[in-house]
Amino acid sequence: MGASKIVIVDYGLGNLGSVERALKKVGADVTVGNSSTLIERARGLVLPGVGSFRDCIINLKKLGLVEPIKEFIFSGKPFLGICLGMQILFTQSEEFGMTPGLNIVRGKVVHFPKIRGLKIPHMGWNSIKILKKALLLEDTPRGAYLYFVHSYYVVPEENVVATTTEYGVEFASSIWKENIFACQFHPEKSQSTGLAILKKFKDMVK
């Protein structure tokens, strides 16, 4: 039995079922799993997740997945990070005190500022401003609305921001760095606009 083209990493956090269903809906050959062999053999890798940054890092270490994920990314094959799966790519997060991340992208993860009337978490539909036309955004119209659920956002120290979104502050809602595309929004919950992004990712995976 051959390896699936796209592997969704299961590290115990996140709504994996909705990501799997959305990728299958756009015709992807996809498997959910957490073995290093599965990751090594994948042609495309998706790291989704919701929840605590610290718990995510702890779980990845317990499962022995930190190095396999890094090696996959450094191999140049297509990688998609969603929500927490984007945040852990960064150097560190201030959630529950400073926690080191994978440090694949220089920068930090910070909490939304306390602004009167600003509800946290940021939850629901919001628009994006496209700064870089990443491959996965080729079919995404300017000002498109996507679905968000998060209390923290990334602050890159590299020129990697693909889109920004306004919520009390203007924050990086997606990044693009070589073979990495990662987004704070949930494409799997963003109806036709999100499915178009996932289809672009599927089409990149050879």
For residue 151, give the 3-state DSSP assignment.
Answer: coil
Residues carrying an active site annotation: 83, 186, 188
d(CA 65, CA 76): 17
d(CA 149, CA 151): 7
The three-state secondary structure class of 98 is: coil
Asked if residues 192 and 20 have their Cβ atoms less than 8 Å apart, the reply is: no
- Strand stretches in 128-167, DSSP E: 129-130, 145-150, 152-156, 161-167
CA distance 52 to 56: 6
Helix-, strand-, coil-residue percentages of the chain, each rounded to 5: 30, 35, 40
- CA–CA separation, 81 vs 48, rounded Å? 6
